[in-house]
Structure formats: structure tokens, C-alpha cells
Structure 1
Amino acid sequence: MELLIAFSLLIVLIVFQEQIFCFSLSIPASPGYYQDGHFVIGGLFSLRVTARDKRIKFGFNDTMAIPEVVIVNLTKNYQHMLAMVFAIEKINKEPNILFNMSLGFYLFNDDFFETRAMESSMALLSGGSPPIPNYSCRPEKTDKLVAVIGGISTGISAQISRVLSLYNVPQISYAPFDASLGTRIQLESPYQFPVHTAALYQGIIHLLLYFTWVWVGLVVPDDMRGEHFIKEIREEMINHGICVTFAEKGPVFPSFGDIGWYQLIISLTLTRIVIAFGDTHDFLKLVSLIISSKTFGNIWITTSDWYTAILPFKQNLIYTYFGGALSFSVHKDEILGFKDFQRSVHPTKYPHDIFIQHVWSNLFECPHFYEHGVKKLSQCEQNGSLSTRSLNVWDMNTSPLSYNVHAAVYAITQALHEELSLRVNGDSLDQGGLQPPLPWKLHPFLQKGKLGRNINEENAVNQEDSATKIDIFNYHPLQRGTKAQVKVGEFLFESHSVQHLSLNDKLINLGVYNNQIPLSGCKRSCLLGFRKIEVSSYAFCCYDCAPCPAGEITNETGMDQCFKCPEDQYPNKWRNQCLPKIIAFLSHEDTLGMVLVSVAISLSAFSAMILGLFIRYRDTPIVRANNRNLSYVLLVSLMLCFFCSLIFIGQPRTLTCVLRQMIFGVVFSVAVSAILAKTFIVVMAFKVIKPGSTLQMWIVTRLSNAIVCCGSIIQVCICAVWLGTYPPFPDVDLQSEYGQIILLCNEGSTLAFYCVLGYLGFLASLSLLIAFLARRLPDTFNEAKTITFSMMVFCSVWISFIPTYLSSTGKTMVAVEIFSILASSAGLLGCMFLPKCYVILLMSGSHSRKKFFK
């Protein structure tokens, strides 16, 4: 009998083990806010930060409870809960959505603590607090659970997923998308609302380039998300010429004795601009350091809308020293009716909301007391409203995370609607014996929505419109009637090739800089006229400036290379601008041109006077000696030589370029041939011809005329060949003279040009040689000495002409040739005819021929 009784008791214990165990541990260690419905959605939120032991505790009984101290009350995060309550109330008012069935919720606060998040997840599954793993203590709650929304960070979301994925319960994380969340845990990852990270990166880079900030620091939380951000943003920055001077990582909640962010204080001195990737809860410790490091005057750029009200009811120093910061936030439209809902929220309206008591106490500074472990308010405003609170403690605008919570509720509702629709179509929906769908049945419907489970699946960013709009906010110091955050611009990203940044500079307040844009670079940008030269591994940020070389400029600051001006322009002396070159040629208006014209005309007139003198005294012995016709030819050719120099002056044209060298060559060949003929007559007269032999003298005269004709014809042939092959033509010289475009005559065939000069030199050398040999003949009618001297002058001029001509450019080259023509012609004129003019004018009139010969 005793054995039978013992066996019966054992069976009873086994049957009622679950109920006894649940009853023995039903201590309200982690209470939640519950509202019943046909379907229940769990919510795990974070309203405050507590200091607790970092060791993970299991057991969840009162003997192992860990004392907690509240560090920060994030009252604004209560809006996340309100967004969920508002969405569920609005859905329940529409009976057709869930076929006359309602939604309920079960909300918990995990206080940014991963252990509590895991505990709350188990409480959702077991229906009681503390939770009982693998047991359902309250089936009326747990059997209705269809999905869970939470948590606010990657670490919390991962811990929640470790529990919920064991039972295949759908989880939607309302935190910003984290690509590492899909790989850091082995089990099924939560659904997320992805954002276009490329749009965020490009927006930051466009903002930096807009203000020419190319020397920046990075601050990220010490997790996979921070590592991923540093890797991707650094590559994009390098591609756009922006340098990362430091990349500091720190723990989200540093424990006592942890260095944490204190190393960042040293790095803040290296740059003015700091980019912080993360949300408010990632940098709670960092915010206090910003106040202590105010002397550095840094401007912060955040990748999310920071909630910086650490001390809610005081004029926060954070807004004074964080003022001037710029934040990026993916554009979200306001939730219709949500502001009115927030105005209506009051503790008396939601008496079962255990969280509103704590939030209301902080927002309205109400005295409170605890009754049976529950916070009770006293002496609060009867008609208090959230809309009356200042912006630093409560913002009526919908935060991005609240928008995600609201969207998550509707995503779950849509999945429920589709699952129930299948049951209605199959006539299997019986509201009398209604059973909520098993949570895992919602996965196919959630996967079709705008959600992503991991980085390998198509997610919302691929399904939404291609354009991503990001709002840019500026933090202003809090003043009466002044918003804490002001929208100052937006960035529209359609693709990597279609992007647009718009900023309202008038609204931007840069805090301590008094709206003066600070410089952020390893070195100030190189000025105009200078280029960068590398001095370190940060080649495009740290550099020295070197002046541009001659002939090159930079017309923008900070250029890597100088560039040359177009050929028709030249750099100014500062080498920052190209000026049009001046067109230059030897013109008649130039001083040098006028002098040469005057000299040429004077010498031509002088030659004409000598010619007239010789014609008048043509019967005198001094004129008749050595063939007076040759003297006429020589004088005429010299006069033409002086005149031909005028063709070289003026703007070069095709006709003048061709004529001037040809006329010069032919006329000079006539002059030098005439001198050669005169030399021939001198030699023949004293060496070959007998005195009184008229016939022989006639033959010599004919030969001298032939010499002139043959010498000239040969030069004409050379010029004809020159014209027929490669004649001279007008040309421009853009390089020889700085700042000038020189108009000149290109000689065409250089060989032909020097052949003309060489032939003249041959005739002159031959005349010089013959005259030199005949210099000792009788002096009375002997021109050998004067010919010798004139040829020496002629040869000296043209021998010195060649190197001078080759070393000259522009107008100087033309002037050298004109001077050589005038000097050699004047030398011939002076040496050959001035002595004869002296004799004609001063001696022939007073002496007889006989006396003259004596």
C-alpha cells in the first residue's frame, strides 16, 4: 500500500511539475506592460542605462539579483514604445485588417543590457517573470505570441535572436541596419530595415568636400559595425582626396577602470573635424568627454540623430559645446496622427503602463514613491502633456527608430493578414475556436515584405525606390524659442553618378567658430601659382607648395600639377593667369623701324646724288676710268640695295616674304658682279692691254659687261630654284619671345637661303683676291686698293652676320639682316665712290688733264 501511495504521488508530481515550477518562480523580477488581444506582438526596448556587473548570470532568481544604478534616463526612447502602442491601437480600429480580431502587445525594458534582453526574450516565451526556459507558464499569453520587435543595438538584437530563433519566432530589429548582424550569430538572424550605406557615405563625403575639409578623424564603437564603417568610408575618402588622420574605437559602455574613449582626447588635437558613426547609446560616455574637451573646438559630424540630453532639466553644456555639429538622418515622413496621439498620452489614460510612471516622473519632475515595488506619482500636473516639454527632453517629431517600430508593426500585421486570408479562403477560420498561427508560419510573408534577414538576401534597399534622401541637421545651442536641431540641407542619392547636395548656409551655426568655416587640412591649400609636392605617405593631404615652373600656371588653389597656357597666351608674373600674347614684328612705327627706314632712304638719296654727280662729270678721266657704265650699274644696284631693305620692314605677307630675299639676292649679285668686273678691267688694263690699243680695250669692256650679266643670271637661277621648290612664306613664332607672338618670314628652304649668301660670298671673295693681287699696279687709275678695302668691309659684315643672325629672334633677326644690307652697301658706296667724289668736286675743276696726270 505504501508503495502504491508513493508511486501515485510521483505521478502527480510529474504531471504538475511544470505548474509547480512556474508558481515557485513567479516573482516579478522583470515586469512588462501587457495588453491582451487575439495576437500578441512582443516588444523589447531600452529606456535607460544602468551600471551592472558585466558577468552573465543565469538562473533569474531573487538570490542572484544584481543591484543596478541608473546612469542615464533616455526619456526620448519612450517614444519607441508609444509608436508601437499607437500602431496597434490604429490597427485594432480597422476590423477588416485582421478579420475582426485584435492585436495585443507585451512590452519589456532591457535597459541596454544584453543579459536583461535575453531574460526578457525568455519571459515572452514562458509568459512569466522570472522566465522558465522551455516552459509555458501562461499559455494565454505565450500561445498568442506571433512576433517580436527589438532591440536597439546590434549586441542586444543578437542576444534576443539567440533565444527567439530556437523557437523560430520572427524578430524585427528596429535599430539601424547592421550588415554584420547576419553573420555574427550562427542561428537565424533578425529581420532589419536596411538603409543605403552608399548614400550615407557619399553624403558625408560631399559635405566634407563642400567645406573643403580633407583632414578628418573617425570615431566608431568597438564592434563589427564600426570596423565595417572604417573600411568602407576610408576607401571612399581616399578616392576623393580626403585623409583619415585617426580612427578611434571605444566600448559602448566602458566598465570601471576601462580606458575607453580617453585616448580620443589626444587624437582630437590632430584635426578640427570628427565623424562619429553610431547612435546615441553608442557614445554616451563620449558625450561627457566632448564637454571636457571643449577647448579643442572640434566640429562633429554624426551618422544619426543623436539624443544628447543627458541632464534633462538643466541647460545642458552638451548643447553649448556640441553646437555646430552636423548629423545625417535618412528622411522619413511623419506618421499621420502620431503627434496628436502623443499629446493625448497621460498616466491616467494608461494605468497599466508601468513605464509611463517613470518617464512622467522624469519629464515633469514629479515626486514619487514606491507601493509594493511599483512607482507611484504624486503632485503632478493634472493636464500635463508631452507637447509642453522642451525639445532637449522630448521631441514631438517622429524619430527614425520610432518610425521603424511603427513600420515593423505594420509589417507583422500584413503578414498576419496574408496568413489569415489563406485560412479564410480555405474556410478553415473559425473564430469560435480561434487558434493564432504558429510564429514560424509568418516567415514566408515577412520575407516578401520590405525587410531583409542578412546581407545575402534582397532587402528593402533594393525594393524601395532607387533614390535615397538624407536630411542634414545642425545642432544649435539651446535658447528660448530656438530649436535644438535645425534642418539645414539634404542629400539626394540616385546612383553613384547622380547625386545632389543642397545646403542652406544661412541656417548653419558652427558654434564656437561664429560661422567662420574652419580649415581642416594637414596644410593649407596651395595658393594660385603653386602646386603640391609630396612630403609624406599622406600625399594628397600633407604636402609642400612649390611655385610653377616658367611658362606654366595654376588657376585654382590646391592643384597637384601646373599646366601650360595655350600657345597664343602666356603666364603673368604671378603664374596664376594666362594673358593674350602681343603680336610683334618690325613695323614702321617702331623706333628701330623708323631709324632703319630713315637710314635706308638717306643712303639711297646719297647714292642718287653720287650717281647724278657721276653723270654730270661723265667726261672726266676719273669717271671714265674703269668703265663708267659699270660705275653707273654699281651705283644703281647699291641704291636698289638700300631700297630693298625697306621690304623687310612691316607685317610679313606672302608677297613681301618672297620678294625681299629674291630682290636682295639678285640686286646684291649685280653690285658684287660689277665690282668683280671693275677688278677684271684693272688687271687687264695694266697686265694685258697695250697703251693706245682701242680694240683690245673694247674687248675687255665687253667681257666686263658679260661678267656682270653672268654673275647676276646665276643668282637669278638660284632664286628661281628656291621659288620652285620651297619658297619663303609668312610664319609665327610663339616660343622665342616671352609674351609675344612674332610674325616673321620663314625662309622655306634654309639651304637655298645660304646658297644665295654663299654665292654672294664667292663673288666677293673672288673680287677681293683679284684686287689684292693688283694692289701694287700704278696708282693713277688703279681701283684695286679701294676694291680691296670695300670687299674686306663687305666680307667682314656678312661673315659676322651669320652667327648674329642665327642667335637672334623676332624683330632682332630682321634688324640684323637689314643692318647687314645697309652696312655692306654703305661700305661699298663709301670705299668705291667717296674718293672719286673728292677728286671730282675738289680737284678736277682747277687742274687740267695734263697737270692732273702729272
Structure 2
Amino acid sequence: MVTLVILLLALLPHMACTDHIVQCSMCYPQPPVHMYHQKGDLIIGGIVHHASIVASEILFMKEPLPTLTETSYVVPKYYQHITALAFAVKEINENPQILPNLTVGFHIYDSYDNARRTYHATMLLLSAPERFIPNYLCDNQKNLVAVIGSREAQISTNVASLLNNYKVPQFTYGSVPLMYNEIRGLYFYQMVPQQSLQYTGIVSLLLHFRWTWIGVLTMDDESGESFLQTALPLFSQKGVCFAFIKKVPTLSSDSELTRILEDGAKLHKVVMNSKANVVVFYGESMVILRWFPYYSGVQPPRLPKGIVWIMTAEMELISLVYQRNWETEIFHGVLSFSIHSNDLPGFKTFIKGRNPSRAKGDGFIRQFWQEAFGCVFPDADGGDVMGDICTGEENLESLPAPFFEMSMTGYSYNIYNAVYAAAHALNSMSSSRLKHRTVEGRGLQHQNQQFGQLHHFLRSVSFNNSNGDKVAFDQHGKLVAGFDVVNWIVSSNQTFHRVKVGRVDTKHVFTINEDDIAWYYWFNQSQPLSLCTERCHPGFRKKVKEGEPFCCYDCIPCPEGKISDQEDMNDCNKCLEEEYPNNNRDVCIPKDISFLTYGEPLGIILACFALSFSLITALVLGTFMRHHNTPIVKANNRDLTYALLISLLLCFLSALLFIGQPEKVLCLLRQTVFGIIFSVAVSCVLAKTITVVLAFMATKPGSKMRKWVGKRTTTSIVASSSLIQAAVCTVWLGFSPPFPDVDTHSLTKEVVLECNEGSVTMFYCVLGYMGFLAIISFIAAFLARKLPDSFNEAKFITFSMLVFCSVWISFFPTYLSTKGKYMVAVEIFSILASSFGLLSCIFAPKCYIILLRPELNNREHLIRNKA
């Protein structure tokens, strides 16, 4: 309805003011109580929130009351906003460098946090002094150049809906209006930085302290809804979850007070029953007044747990008169984002000089004084006074901080900078070639033209204030500045001060000094935690619980072979190939280099066995050579015996090739030398067996086998069998030879240096061929074991081949089941065991006769055995 009246007034034709018009019904009969005027050539308007009005609710279901019932109360702390504007104007008028030959005045009105009163106050700014004649051009029309206001987003929007028609610049020093944007052409200049900076700062603060389980409280209005839609998705993207998201109801009429109290009690229960120790509170300062009772020691008596409150820049610690004795320690430790501010030189002195008797034209100070000091000024008519009498000499410094602060608050700092921004823009405009008549211009048409030019200079204004802080706007009329992170320090006697502990600069860089933070007493100065689940320690990873937020999870150990070296890791990581996890699976340890060496017990033992068996073989060979003319040596082909002993000696020595660090030459020689030498040995055994069979068959009358008995046959068997193995090894070395390699996977704690066989197929072909020769020898010897011949070796060869085959059959599963250097040890053991089996089974009986029973080593014994 108010907007409709305003639009109708705007359609009236322009005309000069007359006495008749002044007395018209549209004129306001009495000026509002809360106003502050100071004359000047240029006027800066102010719409402040000093008092609040709660009107009775109008229901259209019944006839309304004849008069609208309204209840008002003053917020004493907001009086500093008024003094900040007056202080800035005073400094400008005393500065000859800004607007020389011109004076700046101001007209300040109270919005009462009420839309109807806000529209009325705005129209008063656009009207002649003491005359409520909107849209009329009068002789004493004030030269309004800019308006400072307000701290509430909705009030700023109401003011802009009128000022926008006249292109009057408006500086908002509090919450940013949301329902308009730059396309609509609203002439907003925001004395607060971009909200995205604040949201980035809150997220960075949460992540810095690893608070991932938080509660969120917002105002139940458009700005609160915008916060939920903009900030909460950003929080979620960064890994922050919400224990609860609640809206704090706003008070629009006194009939809603009961509902507000009930909702507040419910919210209090939600906050206290939650596991979240951190609550982000987005809202304006007036919300504290309604939320305060539940955290002030009134109800309940004390907090059951500590809360880290994270307040946005819109929030200040304020109190009303009836809250004078309430505890404020609950707000100790609050982390608040605030617009950067500093104490200005001379501001405290200016405030100390404020006095109801000396503040000319200040219509705010008397009620502020009465509310702040709990006293009453005597009426002019000399009526009775109830309560203490105000002397006007009370000390402002004695007031509790929630009532009034001598240090400049962030809002007051914004007002101060806004006044200076307007003055600098006017100064630039007056000194430019686009100078317009700012004082002589009488009509609204001239003012509109003047304001259009002023916006151009406001967009480009840039200066350093008296404290050295830079003030400038971006292309969208938003202040180019960052946010301070402030820690609220509240004591039991209601002393209150702010400690700057961090900052978010214009490039979204967040810094914090956590050593300077004073936490709420409940936390005993230890860093608070706010988690849905206890952190997963290193060595564990998170496992999300189904149906719950991703911040609620179980902690499970890392699987084998993986580690987690940080807390709350989503997954475990593999170590590098040269590293392995420790027992706790929280760190990677470099693996030891492993290969079979002569310096370790296993290598020493195997080397000793190889050398010992080689020595025994050499002794056997020497014994046979010393008794080479004896019948037992001559029997079964003496040359084959020597060849077998020499090949066995080389077999024992070839085992030494497997000990030591694998190198290229060693890897090439290991398997091939072993394969060829062993093939020679087994071939000799096969030749011996065939010799026994042929010798028995040749003794039969008329046998044609005699021509096969001799050195030519045995030599052919040994040579052909060995050459086949040599050919296989040659092919192996030619196409896929063994090479030095590193095995990082077989063993958890060791990097194994080994010889890669190259072609596994060829490796098993070499072993398979030796096995083939051994099986043939075993079969032949087994069949010839009972032939009637003196010194028949067939039975001994049978036992030796049985041992040989048993060793190598057991070799394969054992070799495949072991890892690292133990695979090499298994192969060495198989070489030594099989070779020693041949040596002991074939030559031990002969050595026994040669050395211990020489009487049996003669021809008569041989003939007797034949008979």
C-alpha cells in the first residue's frame, strides 16, 4: 500500500511549494523523534537502525483495532553508527583538501527496522526540511548527494526502491541486498566485500581445523535462504557435512513472541544434543537478541557442552536494556568474520565529547542515554520522575561492551569510509571539466544530472583513509577488500574485545594464527574437535556408512601391501616397488637387497658342502687313478669312470656359480654350465649301464653284440647325449638368454636380485632332458641289476638313479613354492644332493673294496664270481 501511494505521488506534476501546499493533508504533522540534522552545502543522508518497532499483527479475519499498536526498543550499541557518520563529516569539513569552499551536512533518520517507517524516512530525505512534500521542488530543497544506509538487507532494498528513481547513490554498510542485481540499475555501493570471500574464508577455517561435522543456523528470510543455496554446496564440495541445518525465526509482530520462544527452545535442544561442536551462525545482530536467552545463563543455567560459534560479518554482540545483567561469557571464543576495521585517531575523543546537553540537533542521544545508563531525564513540565535522574555527565566508557563500545566497530568503519567515498567523488567531480552546479541547482532535473555524473566518479574513487587503509570499488560497486577473522574475548564482567587472528584477502588467500585464539572455557584451551566419527588413524582408511553423510564412516585397516600415512584417508596407497609397509601400515620402509651371498650362513654352508663334495670327488678320482690297473677299476670301462668322476667334480663346483650377486656373465653360465655338465654325468651313467647290458649279451655264444662292445659305443653315447643338451643350451642363449633382474614382488620386505631365466620353457627343457636321460638310465640299470657279472654296477646305478630322480622330482614343487634367494638355495641343494647320490651310490662300494678290502680286488675273485 505504501509503495502504491509513493508511485501515485511520483506521477503528480512538478510545481513550486506554497503555504497552501505546506498545510495540505499530505504534510507530516510532526517530525519523527529519532533524527539528527546538521546543515551544509551538500547533504549526506543517513538511514540507520537505532530503535526497533514490533507492531501488532493485522489479521483480515476480523475487524482491526482503531489504532496500530507498536512496541519500540532501542539497541544502544547502534548509536555508534550515528556518531561515526557525524565524525566523518566533521573531519571532512576540517580538511581543506576535500571540497574546499563547501560544507558537508547530514540528515539522519531512524528506519526502526520497519518497512513503513523506512519509506517515510527516505521520503523525508527527498523532501524539503521540516516539510513532507515528496516529488516537489521547493526553494529550500536540500542538496542531497548520497545516502548511507542501511545495515539490514531488506531495509536497504526498501530505501533503494525510492532512491533509484532519482539516481541517488546509496552506500550499504551491512548486509547486501539480494533481490536486485546490477542489470536493474540500482545504485548500490556495498561497503562490504563480496560474500564469496566470506564463504571461502569459512570453508578454509573449517578445513584448517578439520571441522567436518558442523551445524548451521540461519535467519528465516531471503538472505538466509541465499546463504543455504550458495554456501552449503561449497561446504559439501570441500568435505564438510551438516549435523543439522535450522532456521532461526524472525520476529515481525508481538503476537509471534510465544512461537519464537518455543522455536528457540527446540533449536537449543537440537544444538545441545548434536555431536557437532562447531556451529556456523549466519544472520544479523538482532538474531542474537532472540537467541541470547538460551545461552546466557537464564535458561538453561549452564551449557552442557562447549560450542565454537562461527559468526558471519553481519553479526555483532549486542544487548538490550533488560539483558544488562545476563552472562555474555557464552560468546567467549567466537570466531567471527568481519569487515576490516581499525581504530581511527580522534574517534574516541569525539565519542567522549558526546553529551545530551551539547549534542545539538541529535534526536537520538537522549533515548540512547536513558537506555544505556538506566536513568531518566526530567520532563520540561516538571512532572514526577520515576527512577534515577540522568545528569548527562555519565561516562560512556563504563558501559558494558554489548551495550556500547568506544573502539570503532566494523559497521561504523564502513559508514566512515562511505562518507569519505562520497566526499572524494564529489571533490573529483567539482574539480573536473564536467563540473555542474551543485549548490545553485534547484530542480530535481539538475540533481538527477548531477547524480548521474557522481556515479561515474564513485566507480573510480580510490583513496587511503586517515588510518592508511585503501578504499576502492570494483566495476559492480562492491568494496575491494577482504575479511578479518576475529576472536571474541568475553570476560565475566562483560568486558569485551576483539583479537584479529586471521584474514581472507581479495585473492581468496586464507591465513590464520591459531596460537592467538582463545577457545571457550569448556575446551580447556585445547583445539576443539567437531567430527561425526573419530578420525581414522594412519594405517586405516574410511569406509562410508550406508544411508549416512559421507563424514560418518567406519575405520578399517589397510589391506596387505598398502598404507595410509595420514588421518582420514579415503583409500590406502601402495608403496613403491622398492618399499614395503611396516606392521602398522602407516609408513613405507625401503626393502633390503637380497641375494645368496658368501657372507651369510646359508651361502657359507652350501659353499662348504660344494667344496667338500668336490674334494671327496677329487680324492675318489685320485684313488681310482692310483689303482687304475686293478680289476675293479678296469671293470665297466675305466675311461667312463674317469669321465663320470670329472663331470661330478665339475657339477659340485658349478654350484658355486649360483652364489653371489647375479651379474650378466654369471647368469649366462649358471644354468647352461650346470645343464651341460650334468648331462655329461648322466650320459656316462647311461653309457655304463648300456655297457653292462652289452657285455652280458656279448658273452653268449654266437652273439652279434660283440662288435658293439668297446670304447666307440660308450663314446658315442656320451658325446651324442651331451651334444643334444649343448644344442638346447645354445638355442636358449641365442634367442632368450638369462639376464640379471630385480624381483620386487615375491617378497614383502626384500628386493631380490636374481637371474631371470629369460625363456622358462628352455629352462625346463634343459631339466627335462636331464630327467629323460636319468629315467632311461634308471630303467636300463633296473633291468640289468641281477645280471651274473662280477662287479656288476647295474644295482648301484639303479640306486643312484633312484636318488637322482627322487631329488629332482621333489625339486620342482619345492622350487616353485619358494621365493627369493631360497629358490637358488633349493637348486644348489638339488645339484649337490643328486651329484652326491651318484658319487656315493656308484663309487662308495668300489672305494670300500679298494681301500678297505684290497684282497677282493683281484682277478681270481672276479673269475670265481663269474663261475
1:735-768 Cα shifts (integer Å, max 9, x gaps)? 1122111222112222222222222223223323
Residues 216/761 of structure 1: CA separation in 2 closer, same or farther (3 Å cut)? same
Partner of 1:492: 504
1:388 Cα deviation after fit: 5.4
**Using the alignment, how far apart are the partners of 1:321 and 1:845 within structure 2?**
114
- Quickly say closer, same or farther: Cα 1:537–1:371, change in 2 above 3 A: farther
Match in the other structure for 1:11:
none
**How far is 1:777 from its partner?**
2.4
Matched, 1:768 2:778: yes
- Residue 718 in 1 paired to residue 719 in 2? no
**Deviation (angstroms), 1:302:** 0.6
Query: Which residue of structure 2 aligns with residue 353 of structure 1?
Result: 362
Q: Check whether the contact 2:157–2:177 (CA below 8 A) recurs between aligned residues.
A: no
Following superposition, the deviation at residue 829 of structure 1 comes to 1.4
Aligned to 1:833, which of 816, 827, 843? 843
In the superposition, relative to structure 1, how do residues 520 and 536 fare at CA in structure 2: closer, same or farther (>3 Å)?
Answer: farther
Q: How many angstroms apart in 2 are the aligned matches of 1:175 and 1:185?
A: 21
Alignment check: 8 A CA contact 2:212 2:241 kept: yes
Partner of residue 201, structure 2: 203
C-alpha spacing 1:734/1:717, structure 2 compared with 1 (3 Å): same
1:627 is aligned to 2:615? no
Deviation at 1:461, TM superposition (A): 3.9
Q: Structure 1 residues 567, 467: closer, same or farther in 2, change over 3 A?
A: farther
Relative to structure 1, the CA distance from residue 765 to residue 711 in structure 2 (aligned partners, 3 Å threshold; closer, same or farther) is same
DSSP-derived class of the 1:77 partner: helix
Alpha-carbon distance between aligned partners in 1 of 2:342 and 2:816, rounded to the nearest angstrom = 79
The aligned runs of 1:299-698 (5 Å cut-off) are 299-304=308-313, 306-310=315-319, 317-371=326-380, 380=390, 384=394, 386-387=396-397, 389-414=399-424, 416-417=426-427, 438-450=446-458, 460-462=473-475, 468-478=481-491, 484-495=496-507, 499-536=509-546, 539-688=549-698
Cα displacement (A) at 1:403: 2.5
Partner Cα separation in structure 1 for residue 487 and residue 439 of structure 2: 55
**d(CA) in 1 for partners of 2:123 and 2:111?**
12
Comparing 560-569 and 347-356, the one that deviates more: 347-356
Structure 2: how far apart are the matches of 1:439 and 1:282? 39
The secondary structure found in structure 2 opposite 1:33 is strand
Which residue in 1 is equivalent to 2:250?
Answer: 252
With over 3 angstroms needed to count, the CA separation of the structure-2 counterparts of 1:123 and 1:444, relative to structure 1, is: closer
Distance in 1, Cα, partners of 2:433 & 2:853? 146
Letter matched to residue 267 of structure 2 = L
1:522 match: secondary structure: coil
Distance 2:43 2:445 in 1: 11
> In structure 2, how many angstroms separate the alpha carbons of the residues matched to 1:462 and 1:154?
21
- Decide whether aligned partners of structure 1 residues 382 and 75 sit closer, same or farther in structure 2, where only a CA change above 3 A counts: closer
Contact 1:684 1:700 survives alignment (8 Å): no
- Aligned partner of 1:148: which letter? V
What SS class does the counterpart of residue 359 from structure 1 fall into? helix
Query: 218-227 vs 353-362, which deviates more?
Result: 353-362
Match of 1:5 in 2: none
Aligned residues of 2:152 and 2:175 also touching (Cα < 8 A)? no
Letter in 2 for 1:68: T
- In the alignment, the residues of structure 2 paired with residue 558 and residue 666 of structure 1 have an alpha-carbon distance, to the nearest angstrom, of 59
Give the equivalent residue in structure 2 for 1:42: 45
% identical aligned pairs: 37
Query: Given residue 272 of structure 1, which amino acid in structure 2 is its aligned partner?
Result: N
User: How far 1:570 sits from its partner (Å)?
Assistant: 0.5
Q: Secondary structure at the match of 2:328?
A: helix
1:774 to 1:147, Cα distance in 2 relative to 1, 3 A: closer
Q: Which amino acid aligns with 1:32?
A: M
Partner of 1:180: 178
Matched-pair contact (CA < 8 Å) for 1:32–1:106 = yes
CA distance in 2, matches of 1:697, 1:188: 124
Out of 544-553 and 467-476, give the one that drifted further. Answer: 467-476
Taking structure 1 as reference, are residues 105 and 374 closer, same or farther at Cα in structure 2, changes over 3 Å only? farther
Find out whether 1:100 has 2:101 as its counterpart: yes
- Determine if contact 1:329/1:472 at 8 Å carries over to the other structure: yes
Counterpart-to-counterpart distance in 2, 1:589 and 1:465: 77
In the alignment, which residue of structure 1 is the partner of 2:8?
none
Match of 1:7 in 2: none
Amino acid at match of 2:121: S
Distance in 1 separating the partners of 2:666 and 2:433 = 104
CA contact (8 A) 1:123 1:132 kept: yes
When residues 108 and 182 of structure 1 are mapped into structure 2, their CA distance, relative to the original with a 3 A threshold, is: same
Three-state SS of the structure 1 residue aligned to 2:577 is: coil
Deviates more, 1:144-153 or 1:612-621: 144-153
CA distance in 2, matches of 1:409, 1:848: 134
Deviation at 1:33, TM superposition (A): 2.8
Distance 1:25 1:572, change over 3 A: closer
- C-alpha spacing 1:153/1:746, structure 2 compared with 1 (3 Å): same
For 1:162 and 1:23, locate their aligned partners in 2 and report how far apart those are by CA, in whole Å: 20
RMSD of equivalent CA atoms: 3.8
Partner of 1:170, secondary structure, is: coil
Deviation at 1:208? 0.9
- One-letter amino acid of the counterpart of residue 280, structure 1: S
1:64 to 61, 64, 67: 67
Shift, 1:84, TM fit: 2.0
Matched, 1:110 2:111: yes
Letter in 1 for 2:259: D
Q: 1:344 to 1:438 in 2, by over 3 A?
A: farther
- Quick one: distance in 2 between partners of 1:518 and 1:687? 100
Larger deviation, residues 259-268 vs 274-283: 259-268
In structure 1, what residue type is equivalent to 2:369?
Answer: W
TM-superposition CA deviations, 1:1-24 (whole Å, max 9, x none): xxxxxxxxxxxxx98653443699
Check 1:117–1:370 CA distance in 2 against 1; reply closer, same or farther (3 A cut): farther
Aligned length in residues:
821
Aligned to 2:239: 241
* Selected match of 1:32 from 31, 35, 47: 35
Structure 1 length normalisation: TM-score? 0.87
**Change beyond 3 A, Cα 1:186–1:445:** closer
Q: CA deviation at 1:710?
A: 2.9
Structure 1 residue 200 displacement after superposition: 0.8
Shift of the 618–484 alpha-carbon distance from structure 1 to 2, 3 Å rule, reads same
AA at the equivalent of 2:202: I
* In 1, Cα distance between equivalents of 2:488 and 2:215: 19
In 1: Cα distance, 2:774 partner to 2:432 partner: 119
Report the CA distance shift for 1:38/1:847 in structure 2 as closer, same or farther (over 3 A). closer
Deviation at 1:436, TM superposition (A): 8.8
Summarize the Cα distance change of 1:829–1:464 in structure 2 as closer, same or farther, 3 Å threshold: farther
SS of the residue corresponding to residue 108 of structure 1 reads strand
Question: Which moves more between the two structures, 567-576 or 304-313?
Answer: 304-313
Q: 1:217 aligns with which of 215, 218, 233?
A: 215
Structure 2 SS opposite 1:204: helix
Q: In the superposition, relative to structure 1, how do residues 613 and 303 fare at CA in structure 2: closer, same or farther (>3 Å)?
A: same
**Structure 1 gaps, min length 5:** 1-13, 453-458
Query: How far did 1:642 drift?
Result: 1.7
Residue of structure 2 in register with 1:273 after alignment: 278
The residue aligned with 1:120 is: 121
User: Secondary structure, in 3 states, of the residue corresponding to 2:854?
Assistant: coil
What is the match of residue 466 of structure 2? none
Query: Given that residues 594 and 821 in structure 2 are in contact (C-alpha distance below 8 angstroms), is that contact kept between their aligned partners in structure 1?
Result: yes
- Answer whether contact 1:26 1:128 (CA < 8 A) is retained: no
**Match for residue 3 of structure 1?**
none
